[in-house]
Homo-oligomer: A and B are copies of this chain.
């Protein structure tokens, strides 16, 4: 008696292949061969899904498959990360690996459903851009019909412009970062879940939308059943995500008060604090120093001049990072919305507003106070399923070393 385990998109089924007196057992094709099976379905509480197929007729739909490069029949994949990545097309067939992407797909559903219900419009903005203005050197250059172009690092400028059209917008798309980071949390191409909305008072209004979006994503993951199959806990998103000011966050983790940013170990400590103090997997840090935020960031009104800040600049910002289980997952905040403020902010950084002309046109012709955020899909999934490295949840990651498969 041979047990053949059949896999399709609905799950696994056990096929019992028997040779008895007067009968010859059908040929069982090698692992991963695609087959059509007809037979008798019989209840068997021990079989996957509670049934098995007996008296099968097995028809291969391909030639016999070669032995898979990873052991798909084991309950868990035991191969190392380089092997999994090199053989992604086959390794992702493992039910536990597949479920990790089902978490991602469910998250996208929940993201869009929440925003659609709140009157947001999905947009598609160009990934090929003419200037590398947003953050300088860390862009990939493209040969565009013999002219220089760049891959968009974010849809930031475009989603802001579209606030003038649709008031509330979102986009799911690839973003490209030519940062030579070789860490467990950076990729050269990743999926950014971008949101931008008009008529906000400050970044706290933006954070309230983010809270609902995360709750919608968590609900969709729960409904998909993928987290349960993986045995991982889907976070409860509290009605109010705990918020700490950047200055208080530094004090809490014992960092010097003039640190310009939070280091990964600070983020981990803040994650532990949020869980211990508030029972929350999420914590937002608001008020990041203006000096470390992009020029379009709205300052925290009346927060004074930074010790080392540009003259006239305010010290703190109306921006935030959101940490999920101690990892930076989201950056967001309120943006400037007055044309004159943009000109001043760009000039204060020693840049020429003329090189931002088409972006600034939207502000010259009226724009509501607005803000938004961007969620990194791979980080969300990695943290949710407990993967140490974003590459473990990305079917075909791109990084400093990897451009294939």
Contacts and interface: CB of A to CB of B under 8 A. Distances in A.
Interface of A: 8-10, 32-34, 61-63, 65-66, 68-69, 87-90, 92-93, 98, 101-102, 104-105, 108-109, 112, 116, 119, 121-131, 140-145, 147, 149, 151, 158, 161-162, 164-168, 172-174, 176, 178, 180, 188-189, 191, 199, 337-340, 358-359, 361-369, 377, 395-396, 398, 400, 403-405
Nearest to A29: B366
Given A92-B165, A125-B395, 6 more contacts: A61-B368, A104-B124, A124-B174, A128-B398, A129-B403, A142-B143
Nearest to A370: B34
Given A128-B176, A142-B141, A367-B34, A396 B9 contact: no
Given A61-B368, A89-B361, A128-B188, A123 B140 contact: no
Contacts of A359: 89, 405
Given A9-B166, A144-B403, A338-B62, A365 B122 contact: no
A196 to B, nearest CB: 13
Nearest to A145: B400
Given A337-B62, A365-B68, A358 B173 contact: no
A116 B109 contact: yes
Contacts of A102: 121
Contacts of A369: 34, 61
Contact of A63 (B8, B34, B176, B340): B340
Nearest to A397: B126
Nearest to A377: B124
